[in-house]
């Protein structure tokens, strides 16, 4: 049986039922096979999940021609948006990207491409490595917090807003005054705001190290 088909089917099941509910027996039944066949390809569920995580990263595709002529900031923004969009399509699988450092073929290609992008725009290798890590942590962390299993629903935000407004304005003057802003900013706008702050900081560090 083709490994790619097994991994694709596992991801489809995770999207439907979640990681915890997925079993090798369920996967084998869906493939009209047996668990013994799966064990010929994987030592266990953990090894399979690592391949699923890399499969997700393989969906992050930005044609090189789309980045031609862009500034480093525009190119990194495009890469971050592409990763974020991909992760949002697989909310049940988000924890896989946080459980371990991805080192599969797709992860390695993406890491190499982005670190090279930074160094090609004047970032020293050390800063390029830290920039890559910071961007990855931000995008994955934001996606997990906003889209992972058990995250707040839109109606929960309304309840949170009402709760903030109900607080004692003497004890919590800033929170009550900012109740609407704390709970009503669209998620993608919030994502871009945080990403832009991070990129501003990286540009400042790049300039400082260039002047040193």
**Overall average pLDDT of the 37-53 stretch:** 91
Distance (Å, rounded) from C-alpha 171 to C-alpha 168?
Answer: 5
Distance (Å, rounded) from C-alpha 202 to C-alpha 206?
Answer: 6
**Overall average pLDDT of the 140-145 stretch:** 92
Q: Kindly tell me if the per-residue pLDDT of 153 is higher than 80.
A: no
pLDDT band at 154 (very low <50, low <70, confident <90, very high): low
In this prediction, what percent of the chain has a pLDDT beyond 70? 98
Distance (Å, rounded) from C-alpha 42 to C-alpha 207?
Answer: 47
pLDDT band at 152 (very low <50, low <70, confident <90, very high): low
In this prediction, what percent of the chain has a pLDDT beyond 90? 74
Quote the pLDDT of residue 169.
Answer: 95
**Overall average pLDDT of the 25-35 stretch:** 93
The model's pTM is 0.89
Q: Count of CB atoms within 10 A of residue 187's CB?
A: 15
Distance (Å, rounded) from C-alpha 145 to C-alpha 136?
Answer: 14
Distance (Å, rounded) from C-alpha 163 to C-alpha 179?
Answer: 9
Q: Write the pLDDT tens digit of every residue in 87-134.
A: 999 999 999 998 888 899 999 999 999 999 999 999 999 999 999 999
Q: CA 172: distance to chain centroid?
A: 33
Q: Count of CB atoms within 10 A of residue 178's CB?
A: 12
């Amino acid at each position: 049986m083709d490994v790619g088909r097994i991994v694709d089917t596992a991801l489809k099941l995770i999207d439907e039922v979640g990681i915890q509910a997925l079993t090798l027996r369920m996967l084998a039944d869906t493939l009209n096979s047996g668990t013994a066949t799966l064990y010929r390809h994987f030592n266990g569920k953990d090894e399979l999940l690592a391949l699923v995580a890399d499969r997700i990263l393989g969906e992050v595709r930005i044609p090189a021609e789309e980045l031609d002529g862009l500034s480093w900031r525009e190119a990194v923004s495009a890469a971050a948006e592409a990763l974020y969009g991909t992760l949002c399509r697989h909310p049940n699988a988000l924890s896989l990207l946080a459980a371990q450092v991805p080192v599969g073929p797709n992860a390695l290609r993406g890491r190499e491409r982005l670190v090279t992008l930074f160094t090609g725009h004047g970032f020293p290798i050390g800063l390029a490595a830290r920039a890559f890590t910071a961007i990855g942590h931000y995008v994955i962390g934001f996606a997990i917090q906003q889209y992972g299993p058990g995250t707040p629903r839109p109606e929960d935000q309304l309840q949170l807003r009402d709760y903030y407004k109900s607080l004692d304005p003497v004890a919590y003057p800033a929170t009550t005054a900012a109740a609407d802003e704390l709970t009503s900013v669209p998620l993608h706008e919030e994502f871009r705001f945080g990403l832009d702050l991070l990129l501003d900081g990286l540009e400042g560090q790049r300039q400082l190290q260039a002047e040193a």
